[in-house]
A = this chain, B = another copy of it.
């Protein structure tokens, strides 16, 4: 059993952006995550040689074992273990390794391969672990937190707009294009593609009524699409201000300590 002091010191090695071993450790983990995403991407390519596939799978096993070790060490070093396990980062760390062991279990139990392969794709969530290693990213997270309530209302407004648009276009286009606009759920796909201005071109109105309705919906929709821009950017500048206030307060506190 090691002392609490020692644990605190080791913790700075894991998370630390100040200590040298901490930075070194960070870069290794970031490199492992990037490497694992690349292997996952290559693994899905059709026509890989059996040798390459074998190598990619061994890579996967090794990296998962490293992340399992990291997870175990983090639990061991945490001042409050359960709090870490149920914290945002604790869950991310678990989600990053769990699929492998569940897959292993299924593999032993003899479940069919296709489902197992899909499970392997969950490795992409390792990318979320990257969010721990950047100061500026923390500012983005703070900004999304600040604007959360308004973003939720914006999402609700968008949902209402999507349903009303889908119902309207269903009314206008269903008689003319009974396959593309077969029902409101089908029309919802049109509403999503149109209001986000993606416009694939797989479904579009051909009647005069439907086109006029599209114009009307887009005029309202562009006003609504403009909303998150304002929300996110004003929240971002608020987060930046908060940060500099905190840094100022720290500097002042240091100044008093010295004086």
Which of B46, B183, B230 is in CB contact (< 8 Å) with A237? B230
Q: Could you list 15 A-B pairs, sorted by A, with CB under 8 Å? A: A41-B184, A44-B183, A46-B182, A118-B171, A121-B171, A140-B227, A155-B219, A192-B215, A196-B222, A197-B197, A200-B204, A222-B225, A223-B228, A226-B228, A230-B237
Q: Is A233 an interface residue (CB 8 A)?
A: yes
Which of B140, B171, B230 is in CB contact (< 8 Å) with A157? B140
Which of B134, B157, B200 is in CB contact (< 8 Å) with A201? B200
Per-residue B-contact encoding for A203-225, CB less than 8 Å = 1, 0 else: 01000100100110011001101
Which of B150, B193, B229 is in CB contact (< 8 Å) with A136? B150
Q: Are A185 and B41 in touch, CB under 8 angstroms?
A: yes
Q: Is A91 an interface residue (CB 8 A)?
A: no
Knowing A44-B184, A201-B202, say if A233 contacts B226 (CB, 8 Å). Answer: yes
Per-residue B-contact encoding for A38-66, CB less than 8 Å = 1, 0 else: 00110011100000000000000000000
Q: Which residues of B lie under 8 Å from residue A121 when comparing CB positions? A: 167-168, 170-171
Q: Is A13 an interface residue (CB 8 A)?
A: no
Q: Are A156 and B130 in touch, CB under 8 angstroms?
A: yes
Q: Are A136 and B149 in touch, CB under 8 angstroms?
A: yes
Query: How many chain A residues have a CB neighbour from B under 8 Å?
Result: 73
**Count of identical protomers in the assembly:** 4
Q: How far is the CB of A77 from chain B (nearest CB, A)?
A: 27
Q: Is A98 an interface residue (CB 8 A)?
A: no
Report, nearest first, the 7 A-B pairs whose CB atoms are least far apart: A230-B233, A198-B199, A201-B201, A226-B229, A44-B183, A124-B167, A136-B153
Question: A149: nearest residue on chain B (CB-CB)?
Answer: B136
CA distance A139 to B197 in the complex (A): 26
Which of B130, B137, B198 is in CB contact (< 8 Å) with A197? B198
Q: Which residues of B lie under 8 Å from residue A127 when comparing CB positions? A: 160, 163-164
